[in-house]
Structure 1
Amino acid sequence: MERILERYEQKSYAERQLASSSSESQENLSLECSKITSTIEVLQRNLRQFRGEELDTLSLRDLQLLEQQIGNSLKPIRTRKNKLMHESISLLQKRERSLQDQNNKLAKKLKEKEQTPTEHELRNLASSSSPPSVQPPATVQFPSLTIGGSYKSMEGSIREAQFNLNLVPIL
């Protein structure tokens, strides 16, 4: 009989401990839940303030702190943007130099071609017995491919070009 009573007491004691620990854990869970809920509310309020909403309740000091936080958040964004712009500008400058070199080579070839008589002219000179009349070769006007320099001839299209200028990095 004593053994039965001992087992009964052990079981009842274990149940009481379980009940007390579950009520304590329940209280801990509700406390933790309320903490998390309040943290979520604070974060949502901060997010709305970062968006520019619900600023009426803020004091001058709070507004200054918010402005400082937003400014600090924008610094890496501006840095990245400036880096991409500089990379794009340097690529465009390299491209400009390349095109300028090509333009210079083409102009040099054109000048050489104008100075040397063509095969057709040489045949005409050889076949004709009369002294040839010397005529200077006709000068052909090609549009200039120079980049930079004077834009006086393009004044009307400069404004249009400025508005259509988009610096997009070439990947």
Structure 2
Amino acid sequence: MDERKNGRGKIEIKRIENTTNRQVTFCKRRNGLLKKAYELSVLCDAEVALVVFSSRGRLYEYSNNSVRATIDRYKKATADSSSTVSTSEANTQFYQQEANKLRRQIRDMQSSNRQMLGDGVTSLPPKDLKSMEGKLEKAISRIRAKKNELLFAEIELMQKRELELHNANMFLRAKIAESERAHQEMSLMPAGSEYHEPMTTSQPYDIRNFLPMNLMEPSYARSDQTPLQLVYDPRSHFFLFFHF
């Protein structure tokens, strides 16, 4: 029989009859085997695939790439040397490996995002929790700085718009006040006042379709009528000509 040495002395390599002892030994040896496979893949940059079935039929596996892809690679490596892998098959294998790497990266990013949201942090050691806390504080600081920048820009735009509206309002108020003063001055003119001066010399007709301006000249008045007088009508806001 084969005998091996360990730290506790010599043991006989044979099937352990005690079920409990066999299960404990299986767990220890399995974990050690998985650890060795991981160390081999990392230290030597080797592609490692490990498949273990327990006596109860439970599957345990480890692969730094993909168990299926490694098995396929093994089959192709052990095939007849005369058979060659076509270019399409090689490309397929390459893209499968790249896809597996991307899937692992996606899983890692999803796990990191969940941890950032507070899920699944119970199993993290204090060192990782402290590092995550620092990252979150820096991210919150950058977010707040950007938010304040946008708020200040919006406030400045609103203040500029408020000033423009205020200036437009003052201009409209001045126009309204000027119009009211002009209307008030016209309404305060005496009703019996005579108007002897011509309104204009450059236009023959008034813009409100008044009578021809030359009717105001006394040379056109007939001798049997009284002279024309100009009277302001406050209801229609027009000047009217009458004989008195």
Q: State the TM-score, normalizing by the size of structure 1.
A: 0.44
Greater gyration radius: 2
* Structure richer in helix, relative to its length: 1
Q: State the TM-score, normalizing by the size of structure 2.
A: 0.33
* Structure richer in strand, relative to its length: 2
